Amino acid sequence: MVSKWFLRVAVLFALAGMGLGIFMAAAADHRLSPVHAHVNLIGWVGMFLAGLFYRTHPASEGRAARWHLGTAIVGLTILAPGIAGVHLGLPWGEPLAGIGSLLTLAAMVLFATIVVRGTAAPASEQVDFTAPGRTAAARTA
């Protein structure tokens, strides 16, 4: 179930982002604020929202969703140290940030496609919020 993994990974990114924020505050060195922002927004917020989408649109949890998950995780895992490298003036920062950015963008384009297709599905395939775990089709049966 892709939604489960998006939600779990999102919480890990939230912990990483919070940890980085605490580290920066304790060290009184905020040069890595852009990394903190990207990890929290893309990792925590973005992946958690994707997890909620997949949880409420189970018909969308196919091969494309698995590619979305993998690409999003790899993209941010490369992007975050790349941004850190850029802000610390390290020569490998720019190439890493560029590769991570492209992977993260690819993940978002894939997700946009999945959302458009998933929300075009008949309501009978979507989750019935009044009875968790049931689809609207099960409600009418």
DSSP lists the bridge partners of residue 135 as 127
Give the C-alpha separation, 39 to 33, whole Å.
10
- Mean pLDDT (the chain, rounded): 91
Q: Is the per-residue pLDDT at 24 higher than 70?
A: yes
CA distances from 138 to 54, 55, 108 (A): 18, 16, 32
What does the domain layout of the chain look like in residue ranges? 2-121
Q: Is the per-residue pLDDT at 49 higher than 60?
A: yes
Which position has the higher pLDDT, 136 or 117?
Answer: 117
Q: Residue 120 has what pLDDT?
A: 86
Q: What are the φ and ψ backbone dihedral angles of 127, each rounded to 5 degrees?
A: -75, 140
Q: Is the per-residue pLDDT at 135 higher than 60?
A: no
